[in-house]
Amino acid sequence: MPELRYLPGLVLVAALGALVLVALLGLGLTRPGARRAGLVACGLPLSLLPTVAATAYVSLKLIGLFAAMGVTGGGTMQQLLDTCASLWLVARAGWGACAVACVLGLLLALFRAGPSLPDAACSVRRGFVLALLPALGLLLASAVTYEVGRALRITTAVVASVENDAASKTRSDAALAAEGFATEGSGSLGAISRFIARGAMIGTFGGATAAVILLGLAAPGAILAWRVQLGSPFVAAAVALWLLGAALGALVATGVLNPLRLS
């Protein structure tokens, strides 16, 4: 059960996801069937907006969590672990919204029934740019989420380490060692703190910046894909990109990709 104080994050993700679905339907259904494959150029960057918004929200709350711990001394180990799980749930919801939007985009791309219009043929160069824009968006959103996931993973590893529990200490030490941290010595604690703070700052400012960049990718994508005839090779590329976005979103949303799982 997620903590109620993080419910606004889920509401934010749900609202953005709904807006993206409406935008995709509007953009897709107003285009003739033969042009809908080009929707991936602007639709996929828009579909990723809930993921970066969730990342920024999670990072901001993670900074607030450590600030509160500095004042109150923190809570119990289980409370902190539950907080990390609640924060990651918001990120999972963002990628779940992305997966749903990608499935809708895929269906629109495959449903190509409609009149054939005398559009100009899409050049190889334009087709490459139209495929590159959503690929860059997917890479950007994944990178920002990855950094925040690492910060939450290290936080979980530190909190979950119990001195008298050999199994938990082994799992935590393995997670810390995988990121290059020493598991003994006073210097390691400072390095870990700086790592978590860096990841949270990247998520906060990087998530906000990524949202602006995604919108910047979507705009030229919509313009370049307008009134051009897209061939079968681009349709195949569009389907692959939609499938990649849907698969990645589903893997995160369902917990298959879970940085909090130390075992």
Q: Where are the beta strands (DSSP E) in 168-255?
A: 228-229
Q: For the chain, which residues score pLDDT lower than 50?
A: none
Q: State residue 117's pLDDT score.
A: 59
Asked if 18 and 98 touch (Cβ cutoff 8 Å), the reply is no
SS3 content of the chain, % helix, strand, coil (to 5): 80, 0, 20
- Residue 255 has what pLDDT? 92
Res 72: pLDDT: 55
The pLDDT tens digits for 63-82 are: 888 776 655 555 566 778 88
Give the pLDDT score at 76. Answer: 60
